[in-house]
Structure 1
Amino acid sequence: MTPLPENLPPQISEDDRDTAVQRLQDAYTQGLLSHEEMDARLHQALTAKTPSELAVALTSLPDEDAGTTATIAAASGRIRRHGAWRVPRMLKIHSAFGRVHLDLSRAVIEHPVVDIELQLGSGGAKITVPRDAVVEVEALRTVWKDPLYKVRRRSRSGGPKIRISGTMEFGRLKIRHALR
């Protein structure tokens, strides 16, 4: 049996890499990076092998605002948000067993793009989005059932973009637009 080398450099997780890419894209949309600079830094972030190499791609960017990311986690039971609640830029929902219901129809949405990351074991999820929202679910990986979502034919422009990603094991995601 061959012994493993003792001084292996730390590895980058996919979450770390995805977070770095998101920060670069946000900096570009805020006008902090030129198109060429964003391309070069994205290449650095995607090819980095160590955390220090990844950090180089993020130099001179403002620190990430902790208030723009929130995590709601439960081992079992229900996760429910409704009414006039403030939606962060990035919302992470983690539940091993239980149902999730997010109602964004009357929520305070201050960001043009809201990312919702679902990490659900068993149990379904229902998300009600504002009437004028644009929804993307292409980054969601489902094991058991595909999401139920009917794209609105006529949608007023100017609504938030809701991007849903993550993994759902045994359960179904149902998305609907608010009626008003």
Structure 2
Amino acid sequence: MNEADRDRAVELVQQAYAEGRLGATELELRLERALTATCVDDLRPVVADLPDETVRLWSVGGRLTRTGHWQVPRRLRVESEYGRVRLDLSRAHIPHRRVDIELRLTYGHATIIVPPGAGANTDGVHAAWGRVTCKIPARSRLGHLDVHITGNLPYGSLTVRASRM
């Protein structure tokens, strides 16, 4: 088991509490079980009944584009082997204060455009032969969107910038 598995379980439990699906006692119990888990099998019952709304976008050689008024999920996983990815969040409907985007780009380039005032943390992105360029602060202004980007780009690159609106 790696730390990402444990972190993911803790985050799901905390999100369920914030949404009112768990009480304080249940929160404490589940957090303790998640933090003391020694294998992935120990984590499964902690989050088994909690929804995970990860949306997966996938392409082998084409383009993945989301622009305009699209519904942004809480968690988005984008996989592209040779294509280009463009996610424009500037006019999208985002019902969350935080959005997690996981990128898996073998080759190619991803561009993520965030609304004014948003922050983007790219510390979790590993680019072996590519590059990561983030032109905005890692933290948002108070009350604005926070985008957390993680993933692996062996030969790909990522650019994160603010909207030009």
Task: Indicate the percent of aligned positions where both proteins have the same amino acid.
Answer: 38
Aligned equivalent of 1:24:
13
| Residues 30-179 of structure 1 aligned to structure 2 (within 5 Å) | 30=19, 32=22, 34=24, 36-37=28-29, 39-45=31-37, 47=38, 49=39, 51=41, 53-58=42-47, 62-64=49-51, 68-152=53-137, 156-179=141-164
Q: Would the aligned equivalents of 1:97 and 1:120 in 2 still touch at CA under 8 Å?
A: yes
**Structure 1 gaps, min length 5:** 1-11
Query: In structure 2, do the counterparts of structure 1 residues 152 and 18 end up closer, same or farther at CA, with 3 Å as the change threshold?
Result: closer
User: Matched residues in 1 for 2:9 and 2:137: separation?
Assistant: 32
Of 126-135 and 141-150, more deviation after overlay is shown by: 141-150
TM-score (norm 2): 0.83
Q: Deviations over 1:101-151 (max 9, x none)?
A: 111110000111100000010001101011121111111111123311123
Instruction: Report how many residues are paired.
Output: 162
| CA shift digits 1:32-86 (9 cap, x unpaired) | 35474454133134x2x252x2233336xx5315xx3210001111111100000
Query: Matches of 2:10 and 2:44 in 1, distance apart?
Result: 11
Q: SS at the partner of 2:35?
A: helix
Q: Which amino acid aligns with 2:147?
A: I
User: Which of structures 1 and 2 has the bigger CA Rg?
Assistant: 1
Deviation, 1:30, is 3.5
Question: Normalising by structure 1, what TM-score?
Answer: 0.77
